[in-house]
Structure 1
Amino acid sequence: MRGWIAAALLSGACATGALAGDSVRPAIGSFGFDTAGMDRSVQPGDDFFLFASGAWERQLAIPADRAYYGVWDELDEKALRDTRAILEEDAGTPGSKPGDFYASFVDQAAADAKGVAPLHPALAAIDAAASREALAAEHGTMERMGVSAFFRFRIGPDDKAPDQYIPQLWQGGLGLPDRDYYLKDDAATAANRAAYLTYLTQLLTLSGRVSAADAPARAKAVFDFERQLAAAHWTRADTRDVDKAYNKWTPADFAAKAPGYPWVAYFRAVGAEASAALLACQPTAFAGEARLYAATPLATLKDHAALRLLDGYAPYLSQDFVAARFAYRGKALNGVPEDQPRWKRGVQTVETFMGEAVGKDYVARHFPPATKAAADTLVRNLIAAMDGRLRRLDWMAPATRAKAVAKLASFTPKIGYPDRWRDYSALFIRRDDLVGNVMRASRFEHQRQLNHLGQPIDRAEWFMTPMEINAYANPSLNEVVFPAAVLQPPFFDPHADPAINYGGIGAIIGHEISHHFDDQGRKYDKNGALVDWWTAEDVKRFKMLTDRLVAQANGYEVLPGVHVQGDLTLGENIADLAGITIAYDAYHATLAGKPAPIIDGLTGDQRFFLGFAQVWRTKIRESALRQQVKIDFHAPDHQRALTTRNIDAWYAAFGARPGQRYYLAPDQRIRIW
């Protein structure tokens, strides 16, 4: 399935929409779209999001256990229910590892009876560390347990030698979501800091390590230490620059360039002691963190490590820990009134640690071969549409354009589920040992990644489960991946109008395909190697276009004084624009020159753009929106729906005109691919 590329787009029965005479109706409305959710009192040119979904948004009450709710979340709820049914059946089957894992999670009484006791050995090991070297070794041990205490350790392809695996190290050590939460002084951020300090105090007290009288001061010492770490951290915008993040260091380089941290002890404990080189993804941050590690009292460093462990394992401990964590991460950061019911959290936990063991059954029940075949066809059509765009591109040098076409031709789309399922036979699961299950599953996954070192790249590996409502592009493997659960209505419905399918899942697929040509993905060649294959003039012309997209995003004010970060969201904004562009081409190619039918008074183009807008139908709480704008590489969904303002065909479809809020003159519309 590598290298799909079509010489011409498919049409007729391969259009991936409702066929003539098809007696099966679409899952939503008469043609796959919820027209009742529209607000026709809003002019499309004033706000296309509200025009498409304003009535839906007014009527929706965000569920009490959600920070936001929309089409993606409706699908997530369905996937959770479907997976729950599988796990509850498995829980009644003796010896079923996923079933036993799930049963261990939903047993609230057992978790409450054990309290923090399952963590006592790990906490005791931290407290017993008599030196900074010993504590660094505990950092490595914690990483094996799934908790990144001071740095984040991963195994992945070497960007400049993508046929080889290499250990990768990323900055870490913070309990707030990002450096800006420590460094900015607006009222909302200050409130988040206060909630975090309360949480740290609670964890120290609940763990029994510290008296109630001493806990506030010790929590404050850890917070002050993290605030210094935050000042050393890179911004998220800098981190997403793959050229800046590629720094190959030997173990000796870490000692020389980031002195003060016991690197040898850490690498030995984490399993990287035999590695000739590692990727130091934020080198100046490591230098700063190492200096702080050497200068901070050992007692504070131990408290910091213990708190990272307690926070990481709080979801699996007694209800007092669960409640404390939710009060901070759920209520304070995201404004969510209620925690999710225990069954949902249990499903998510099993998916995290044994996702493919459940995914095999999920696919058998909920992703029939006919749906996969229709999705395969649509993906081929989208790749062909991107090929056409690349071949017609006028701002790129011909030689570069030829390389771009070759890169696209070498794509590997992965649709629905893996060709080879993971083997969990070596993972030991006990029905009465939730924390132990999480620890063993974390160590199992860590060792699975370590086993990659020195081996050929596993190009069949998936990094999402079939039940996830998501998709991704992997530049090192030159692939796009779409799990089964996201290939369902309203994103994709084999019985829906093709315009809706192409505007919905088509734009999402186009989005992921185009990530390989966004401001960072473009830096990887057809073999997945990070290499400079564009001319200087190509880069200059591309940057002129993307700078305009940054400015456009910066102009979106989502709350008073709160704007989208154009530089942070650039890659996703490029992909949104490209995705809708190539999906529109692919849709029209399926028409084979024939006019689209009028359905419910809507033209084919109108239905296409409404399908796109419905993908981003989301309502979000203010606290969650503030967090998203600070840390998320994606713009808020309301603004993503406004991507249409750059598309000429949208103006023709809806008659947006000068004077309307989101109207752009033709020469102001941004066209990249």
Structure 2
Amino acid sequence: MRLLKVFLAAAVFPITAFAQGTAQRGIEVGDLNRSVEPCSDFYEYANGQWRAQNPIPPSMVRWSRRFASGELAKEQLKGILEEVSRKQDWPTGSVEQLIGDHYASCMDEARLEAQGLTPIKPLLTDIDGVKSAADVQRMIRRFHELDIAVPFALGAASDNHNPSQMITDIAARGLGMPDRDYYLKPEPRFKEAREKYLEHVANTFKLAGYTPEAARAAASTVFALESKLAEASLDNVALRDPKATDHKTSFADLRKLTPRFDWVAYFQGAKLPRADLNVEQPRFLQEVDRQLQQTPVADWKTYLKWHLLHSASQSLSRPFQEEIFSFYGRYLGGAKEEKPRWKRCVESTDALLGEALGRKYTEKYFPPEAKARMQEMVKNLLAAMGDSIQGLDWMGPETKKKALEKLSTFNPKIGYPDKWKDYSHVKIRRDAFWANVMAGRRFNVVDDWSQIGKAADRGRWGMTPPTSNAYYHPLLNEIVFPAGILQPPAFSMEATDAVNYGAIGVVIGHEISHGFDDQGAQYDARGRLSNWWTDEDLVKFQARGQCVVDQFESYFIEPGLHHNGKLVLGESIGDLAGARIAYLAFKKSQQGKPPAPTLDGFTPDQQFFISWGQFRGDAIRPETQRLMIQGDPHPTGKYRVIGPLSNMREFQQAFSCKQDAEMVRPAEKRCEVW
């Protein structure tokens, strides 16, 4: 999951030292599909039996022990929210009042059904009152204050050339489909998606009171404007290159770039400093400027109404909820049914009031000893990465020195922030769900905008504590592991080191290696977008990356549809390096200890690799796999297991695989980066 363009996410689970004298547990032997040879298909061997016995739940699009753990965390949050929402006399502005009343308002389905479209009618009326291009621009800023990022997004970001400073960043947004290719490419799957999208937009307008004919016309208007924006947008592969979105610009030059947009009024209204900023996609912003002149105001009003309806649908009555799920959840994602209401209300509370909810969550589910052990594990993996860099035979001493310098500046964040956000002035009521959503969104937007023009606050987090995920931020050179992902059942206090290093260890290594993947390697030790490679070493690094690209281009999810190697390059380097670094750290951890045990017939090395297969081996619906290979920088679960391990001699040795085995890449095709 990427919250910002620089965030590179990967799931992770905790490791804690098991108590002396406690029986050690190995891998989940019941998950193995022993009818398959590990050297033939390790994805199926490692946990094929678990997937066969645990089909994807109807409301989910991916499933594994890892995803089950993330859903368990939501049940834990539900318990917290139900407890605090039962009491209605909490002090106003307290954490308990805020999260309790928001959850209660979300769960009040009877009120939502009775209100229908009423909660957003004031905004719809304001859009009806738009008369000019200047009015359109004022409405765009109002939308941005509600975190409705159309047709562009504006927020705070670290300066690529001075990461200690926060500047305004303007990014391309404003599309209702996943990316530009859905509007422009001729393949049948994209054509079908366009037809389904037009139907979905029209259905939503009908729910808002339009006649069928007017709704179809409105949908065509929306699609026409979005298609023009899509034509001016970069594709997902181009967006992976930080240089492609690095366009530092003065405020004066921003006005010259887009002369029809009144940036003075926007920045005054938003109370933003008119200092240097970054425009990620200048061509896109020019197209927005052009459409302000060429597209009739009436069409802009239709476009704005659609994006308001789209943004608010989950907060309105049941027909709106069902319609948005029908396109995004069922058609695009493949889910069979919506998540239960309580779960969506938990997710809403986390999205809007995440650090308030996170305080209650971490008090109950993240003990200090878990944080201490994670800090120790990260330290071990950083040391292993240092050993790996020093041992590289393809990198020269000058580049090695720079790489080690960068490694030394890594900043790990574990569990939760040292300083919590103060939500006490957010107005949350039990009887006004959409009003609460707007209040929470406004708070988060103002909180973000307040950072612009200031020194970067390295104590801030880009994910909420209950989030079941992790990320690396190259400009701050930090790896972040929220408490929500540092939970059982993937980790057990009784697990062997091999099992723990195979799960958490690989993913810690994965996050560390993002600092040295195709994107991260372009940022130096201070987080600047600056080349620190010798020409010769850079060529060698890129050649090793091309090996990974070629490998993943050969992985098909269905006939005629394969991974985009350039899109998944960074995450695949992360998996490959993570597995190698974690294995090295595991071996070092055993020095000076009694020999690691063989359990259930599996050696420590076999436990390590099986643990990775069981951790990462997701079942994924076909529709979601198609979405992933189009726009997700992560490969599908099957190839996150098979891809890195098939390059590792240590895996081949652990399972005595023959040279011609499916899980052993030929020597001339074996990929080794870090």
Q: TM-score over 0.5 for the alignment? A: yes
Kept in 2, the 8 Å contact 1:546–1:570? The answer is: yes
Kept in 2, the 8 Å contact 1:374–1:494? The answer is: no
Question: Deviation per CA, 1:123-161, whole angstroms, max 9, x where unpaired?
Answer: 222221211121012111101101111001221111111
Whole-Å separation in 1 of the counterparts to 2:503 and 2:159:
34
Whole-Å separation in 1 of the counterparts to 2:66 and 2:195:
32
Moved more, 639-648 or 58-67: 58-67
Amino acid aligned to 1:52? A
Whole-Å separation in 2 of the counterparts to 1:205 and 1:341:
25
Whole-Å separation in 1 of the counterparts to 2:270 and 2:311:
17
Question: Deviation per CA, 1:206-250, whole angstroms, max 9, x where unpaired?
Answer: 223x33331101211211221222111100111121112110122
Amino acid aligned to 2:30? A
CA RMSD in angstroms, aligned pairs only: 1.7
Match of 1:46 in 2: 40
Whole-Å separation in 1 of the counterparts to 2:187 and 2:20:
58
Question: Deviation per CA, 1:314-356, whole angstroms, max 9, x where unpaired?
Answer: 1001111111111111111111111111100000000001111
* Secondary structure, counterpart of 1:423 in structure 2: coil
Q: Which structure 1 residue ranges, 5 or more long, are not aligned?
A: 1-13
Residue 269 of structure 1: how far off its partner (Å): 4.3
Change over 3 Å in CA distance of 1:415–1:493 after alignment to 2: farther
Whole-Å separation in 2 of the counterparts to 1:454 and 1:190:
44
For residues 619-638 of structure 1, the aligned pairs below 5 Å read: 619-638=619-638
Kept in 1, the 8 Å contact 2:15–2:504? The answer is: no
Residue 663 of structure 1: how far off its partner (Å): 2.2
For residues 404-423 of structure 1, the aligned pairs below 5 Å read: 404-423=403-422
Match of 2:11 in 1: none
Q: Which structure 2 residue ranges, 5 or more long, are not aligned?
A: 1-13, 91-96
Match of 1:78 in 2: 72
Whole-Å separation in 2 of the counterparts to 1:597 and 1:486:
28
Whole-Å separation in 2 of the counterparts to 1:284 and 1:45:
49
Whole-Å separation in 1 of the counterparts to 2:283 and 2:584:
45
Whole-Å separation in 2 of the counterparts to 1:45 and 1:625:
24
Change over 3 Å in CA distance of 1:668–1:19 after alignment to 2: farther
Match of 1:171 in 2: 172
Whole-Å separation in 1 of the counterparts to 2:251 and 2:418:
37
2:673 pairs with 1:672: yes
Question: Deviation per CA, 1:104-141, whole angstroms, max 9, x where unpaired?
Answer: 10111111111111111212222212111210121111
Amino acid aligned to 1:557? F
Kept in 1, the 8 Å contact 2:143–2:150? The answer is: yes
* Secondary structure, counterpart of 1:519 in structure 2: coil
Match of 2:3 in 1: none
Change over 3 Å in CA distance of 1:122–1:524 after alignment to 2: same
* Secondary structure, counterpart of 1:646 in structure 2: coil
Change over 3 Å in CA distance of 1:506–1:199 after alignment to 2: same
For residues 237-636 of structure 1, the aligned pairs below 5 Å read: 237-272=237-272, 274-592=273-591, 595-636=595-636
Whole-Å separation in 1 of the counterparts to 2:482 and 2:491:
12
Kept in 2, the 8 Å contact 1:136–1:265? The answer is: no
Match of 2:658 in 1: 657
Kept in 2, the 8 Å contact 1:137–1:269? The answer is: no
Query: Which residue of 85, 92, 100 corresponds with 2:86?
Result: 92
* Secondary structure, counterpart of 1:466 in structure 2: coil
Kept in 1, the 8 Å contact 2:471–2:480? The answer is: yes
Change over 3 Å in CA distance of 1:15–1:201 after alignment to 2: closer
Change over 3 Å in CA distance of 1:259–1:455 after alignment to 2: closer
Kept in 1, the 8 Å contact 2:15–2:374? The answer is: no
* Secondary structure, counterpart of 1:162 in structure 2: strand
Amino acid aligned to 1:212? P
Kept in 2, the 8 Å contact 1:16–1:377? The answer is: no
Residue 59 of structure 1: how far off its partner (Å): 2.4
Whole-Å separation in 2 of the counterparts to 1:106 and 1:16:
37
Moved more, 185-194 or 614-623: 185-194
For residues 110-189 of structure 1, the aligned pairs below 5 Å read: 110-189=111-190
Whole-Å separation in 2 of the counterparts to 1:555 and 1:601:
34
Kept in 1, the 8 Å contact 2:548–2:569? The answer is: yes
Amino acid aligned to 1:148? A
Match of 1:219 in 2: 219
Residue 620 of structure 1: how far off its partner (Å): 1.2
TM-score (normalised: structure 2): 0.94
Whole-Å separation in 2 of the counterparts to 1:337 and 1:574:
34
TM-score (normalised: structure 1): 0.94
Moved more, 386-395 or 576-585: 386-395
Change over 3 Å in CA distance of 1:189–1:92 after alignment to 2: same
Residue 262 of structure 1: how far off its partner (Å): 4.3
Residue 502 of structure 1: how far off its partner (Å): 0.5
* Secondary structure, counterpart of 1:236 in structure 2: coil
Amino acid aligned to 2:191? A
For residues 49-60 of structure 1, the aligned pairs below 5 Å read: 49-60=43-54
* Secondary structure, counterpart of 1:140 in structure 2: helix
Moved more, 332-341 or 39-48: 39-48
Whole-Å separation in 1 of the counterparts to 2:560 and 2:17:
43
Moved more, 365-374 or 574-583: 365-374
Kept in 2, the 8 Å contact 1:427–1:440? The answer is: yes
* Secondary structure, counterpart of 1:399 in structure 2: helix
Amino acid aligned to 1:529? R
Residue 182 of structure 1: how far off its partner (Å): 1.1
Amino acid aligned to 1:225? L
Change over 3 Å in CA distance of 1:480–1:15 after alignment to 2: closer
Residue 76 of structure 1: how far off its partner (Å): 1.2
Whole-Å separation in 1 of the counterparts to 2:452 and 2:185:
40
Kept in 2, the 8 Å contact 1:259–1:291? The answer is: no
Query: Which residue of 63, 72, 75 corresponds with 2:57?
Result: 63
Whole-Å separation in 1 of the counterparts to 2:254 and 2:294:
17
Whole-Å separation in 1 of the counterparts to 2:192 and 2:339:
23
Whole-Å separation in 1 of the counterparts to 2:488 and 2:202:
45
Amino acid aligned to 1:49? Y
Change over 3 Å in CA distance of 1:496–1:54 after alignment to 2: same
Whole-Å separation in 1 of the counterparts to 2:185 and 2:455:
45
Query: Which residue of 6, 28, 35 corresponds with 1:34?
Result: 28
Residue 79 of structure 1: how far off its partner (Å): 0.5
Kept in 1, the 8 Å contact 2:506–2:582? The answer is: yes
Match of 2:10 in 1: none
